[in-house]
Amino acid sequence: MGNFENTEEHYEHIKRSHLAAEEALGKCDENHKGIKPYWWDEEIEREIKDKRRKYQTFLTTKTENDKTLYKEAQAKMNHISNFFVKTHRLKLNTLVRFEHSLESSHKVNNLEKKFLVWTGKYKNVAEVPPYVTQSTMERCRNRMRIKIANYMMAATALGCVLMVYLGKRDAKRGITLSQENKDWHAKIKAEHEAKKDSA
């Protein structure tokens, strides 16, 4: 059930989502027989009739030109219907998200309480309520991501400066990777010779 404490809260959220859908799409009669889609209008009806007419012509003639005209009409019809569907879907998503963002429906865990304090929303963990709005939690997470990214960039920059400093210091002392490699090989060779002599 996600962020819902019980079934009643989940049910109330579903009811609010249905109301938002009704506001975005309009109320439809329960008898769906013969009812046109919500995106249907006179322009679409004309385009559909034109597409059907071109399809019938193509079935009769079977010529490439009529086939091309039918395909163009079909593509235009698909474009119009997709545009209306996307428009209403965006409106519906906006209404549902707005409705959901206004209610304190997100149950805050201990880590999220600390996030809310670190981002300055509350002074201490005791002040954080058990539920906050979804938009508040999303803003808090975004701020935490930005803070963590800034700290990581600062740590990377400091690490680069430190590596440059240590590299220059070792270069002045004559300590190089090639010299360390030679010393290591000499040490391994000496140990091997010592083991060989003892045997």
Q: Where are the domains of the chain?
A: 1-26+36-103, 104-199
pLDDT tens digit sequence for 113-137: 888 888 888 888 888 888 887 778 8
Confidence of residue 103 (pLDDT cuts 50, 70, 90): low
pLDDT tens digit sequence for 58-79: 888 888 888 898 888 888 877 7
In this prediction, residue 158 carries a pLDDT of: 96
pLDDT tens digit sequence for 132-177: 877 788 888 899 999 999 999 999 999 999 999 988 888 888 777 7
Q: How far apart are CA 141 and CA 190, in angstroms?
A: 58
In this prediction, residue 25 carries a pLDDT of: 63
Let me know if 73 is exposed, middle or buried by CB neighbors in 10 A (0-12, 13-18, 19+): buried
Three-state SS at 48: helix
In this prediction, residue 163 carries a pLDDT of: 92
- 86-98 mean pLDDT: 59
Q: How far apart are CA 99 and CA 47, in angstroms?
A: 36
- 26-46 mean pLDDT: 63
Which residues, 6+ apart, have CB-to-CB distance to 178 below 8 Å? none
Helix (H) or strand (E) holding 198: helix 177-198
Q: How far apart are CA 46 and CA 80, in angstroms?
A: 12
How many residues are recorded in the chain? 199
In this prediction, residue 1 carries a pLDDT of: 43
In this prediction, residue 154 carries a pLDDT of: 96
- In this predicted model, which residue has the larger pLDDT, 7 or 139? 139
74 closest CA partner among 99, 48, 94: 48
Beta strand 131-132 with 106-107 is antiparallel
Q: How far apart are CA 52 and CA 70, in angstroms?
A: 8
- Report DSSP state, residue 119: T
Q: How far apart are CA 199 and CA 196, in angstroms?
A: 5
**Token pair 């569907």: residue:** 85
Q: Output the six-digit token pair for 76.
A: 């235009």
* 97 pLDDT more than 60: no
